[in-house]
Amino acid sequence: MQRADQLIGQSFGDLARYAGVEVPTSMRHAKGWAGQLIELYLGATAGSKQQQDFPTLGVELKTIPVSPDAKPLETTYVCITPLLGLNGVTWQQSNVRNKLQQVLWIPVDGRREIPIAERTVGIPILWQPSPEEDQLLRQDWEEISEQIILGQVESLTARFGTALQLRPKAADGSRLTDAVGTHGELIKTRPRGYYLRKEFTQQILLQGLQQRLQAGLTF
């Protein structure tokens, strides 16, 4: 948290200069750039390991683009959605729950209308789901998982789910993976991922900020 607090107010221009990396003109071909730069500063292990960013702390790092009034501009990717082998898997054992046990949220200015170099880092929030939040996520996860098990993947759209939604997650639309079909047969479908809705993330950031303010601002 001390390391994260040191990033408050720093611009990506500054951070990139210290790191010796170029600032992209647009995120179009550099999606994930901001997140990886922050990973570097916080000492998170890079790579594509299916693990938390800080394994010994049990902390997952998430960089979230926000508007000037601190509202998330994007949904938050959680993890790949298993489409097979879900029988008997409980919420407690799920990938989603494990990922979200503890998250360090780093809000960053996500306004596309200003140059990336000028965008700054906001106040970090260390979050653990409350019983209510856990219940909300659990309900969505269980309903989505049930549909997947029943072979209804294709009818699950991003409109489903209160806090958690299912959306395609792949390099492009031609990528296919195995799933269960309507009649229990094996079918090919676009890989899916779990994402947190913006409204859910917004509440986390808001409550987290209020807590930090109550605790006294000692950055």
Partner DNA sequence: TATTGATCATCG
Partner DNA sequence: CGATGATCAATA
Q: How far apart are CB 191 and DNA at their closest, in Å?
A: 6
Using the minimum distance from each CB to DNA, give the nearer residue, 129 or 166.
166
Chain contacts with DNA (rule: CB under 7 A):
26-32, 34-36, 38-39, 46-50, 53, 60-65, 73-75, 77, 79-80, 99, 108, 110, 112, 157-159, 165, 167-175, 177, 190-191, 193, 197-198
Q: How far apart are CB 62 and DNA at their closest, in Å?
A: 5
Q: How far apart are CB 36 and DNA at their closest, in Å?
A: 6
Strands 60-66 and 125-127, by their bridges, are unpaired
Using the minimum distance from each CB to DNA, give the nearer residue, 77 or 91.
77
* Residue spans of beta strands (DSSP E) within the chain: 60-66, 76-80, 103-109, 125-127, 164-168, 177-180, 186-189, 192-196
DSSP SS3 for 57: coil
**Distance, C-alpha 89 to centroid of its chain:** 22
Q: How far apart are CB 9 and DNA at their closest, in Å?
A: 18
Q: How far apart are CB 127 and DNA at their closest, in Å?
A: 14
Pick the closest to residue 201 from 6, 62, 46, 28 (CA basis): 62
User: Can you give the C-alpha Rg of the chain in angstroms?
Assistant: 18
Using the minimum distance from each CB to DNA, give the nearer residue, 114 or 217.
114
Contact 82, 212 (CB under 8 A): no
Using the minimum distance from each CB to DNA, give the nearer residue, 129 or 200.
200
Using the minimum distance from each CB to DNA, give the nearer residue, 49 or 214.
49
Half-sphere exposure of 9 (CA within 13 A, CB side): 3
